[in-house]
Amino acid sequence: MSTSAQDQHSFGSPTSGMTRSYTSPRTLFGMVMTLLAGACLIIALIPLFLVLFYVLTQGANRLNLDLFTKLPPPPGLKGGGVGNAIIGTLMTVGIGTLISLPFGVLAAVYLSEFSKGTTARWIRFATNVLAGVPSIIAGIFAYGIIVVTMGGFSAVAGGVALAVLMLPTIVRTTDEALQIVPQDIRWASAGVGASNYQTVLRIVLPAAIPAIITGVTLAIARAAGETAPLIFTALNSPFWPRGIWKPTPSLSVLIYNFASVPFEAQQELAWAASFLLVVLILLTSILARWATRKSVY
């Protein structure tokens, strides 16, 4: 018997029952579910492209160099830009990230590696509750402990408010990232004589870095678009930022102020700032994905 004949004898001929029937109920069900999943994917992406298209068409005529390098104009006048708000947004979000990142990662390491049982469950529950707290409550909290205490609005107060909002996202994503690191890696590290702290710092955390960065990106994306906490803490300023302890402008507050005025020039500037804010968040997500495109484990 030839090789091809043996193969047909072993695996069935093209006309045997092993061939795929495109009219069988299972195949039809699979095709229908595939089409349904694809349609749901398209529907989920439609809002993103509509938002980008709408804000771009509304503020396209203000996308020029002046938008990035000049101050906002007085009400009713044309020209100017949102350069101060861009810098202020980077300042407040940067301060919030510097505060929330170490606390969030260390808290997640404690939950995943050193705390078990009832304590860990209650801490995770408290983190979930904090994630659902309205952003304006975080602004009032930062206003009470920073603005009132220091006697003025500032970028630091805004950063503290944003850090409160970013903290639960960082804790939850880092905790989940550490838990999905294979347990065999920890056992192998302990087998060569490494302590728990050495295992966490040199093995577990490096393996979870891609997922941790993704979580930090999500937290930054949420914080960058918040308005209410910054109104209570950083306030606003029509001038360039003069320090982290001074009132600081931001894109979200500028959009809120200019979108409600009856002047067309300011409304166009608000749309242009909206587009910049969306693009800033999108670029942050893309850069994070690019930086973490290779997973260690």
Q: What is the DSSP string of 19-67?
A: SPPTTSHHHHHHHHHHHHHHHHHHHHHHHHHHHHHHHHHHHGGG-SHHH
Q: Examine residue 233 and state whether it is found in any structural domain, yes or no.
A: yes
* pTM of the entire predicted model: 0.83
**Residues 197-215: tens digit of each pLDDT:** 888 888 888 888 888 888 8
**Separation CA 172–CA 123 (nearest Å):** 11
**Separation CA 131–CA 167 (nearest Å):** 8
Stretch 74-91: mean pLDDT: 90
Q: Examine residue 92 and state whether it is found in any structural domain, yes or no.
A: yes
Listed range (87-91, 96-100, 157-161, 258-262) with the worst mean pLDDT: 258-262
Reply yes or no on whether the pLDDT at 100 is more than 90. Answer: yes
Listed range (98-102, 217-221, 233-237, 239-243) with the worst mean pLDDT: 217-221
Confidence band (pLDDT; 50, 70, 90) for 10?
very low
How many domains does the chain fold into?
1
Domain range for 199 is 84-264
Stretch 151-162: mean pLDDT: 94
- Give the residue carrying structure tokens 């966490």: 200
**Residues 24-72: tens digit of each pLDDT:** 888 888 889 999 999 999 999 998 889 888 888 888 788 889 999 999 9
Q: Examine residue 90 and state whether it is found in any structural domain, yes or no.
A: yes
The mean pLDDT of the chain is: 86
- Give the residue carrying structure tokens 């990662």: 105
Q: Examine residue 41 and state whether it is found in any structural domain, yes or no.
A: no
Stretch 122-149: mean pLDDT: 92
DSSP code, position 137? H
Do the beta carbons of residue 250 and residue 89 sit within 8 Å?
A: yes
Do the beta carbons of residue 228 and residue 135 sit within 8 Å?
A: yes
Q: Examine residue 10 and state whether it is found in any structural domain, yes or no.
A: no
Cβ atoms within 10 Å of 129's Cβ, excluding its own: 10
Q: Examine residue 61 and state whether it is found in any structural domain, yes or no.
A: no
pLDDT at 18: 54
Cβ atoms within 10 Å of 124's Cβ, excluding its own: 17
Do the beta carbons of residue 85 and residue 73 sit within 8 Å?
A: no
Q: Examine residue 259 and state whether it is found in any structural domain, yes or no.
A: yes
Q: Examine residue 59 and state whether it is found in any structural domain, yes or no.
A: no
CATH of the domain at 149: 1.10.3720.10
pLDDT at 13: 47
* Two tokens, residue 50: 């509509």
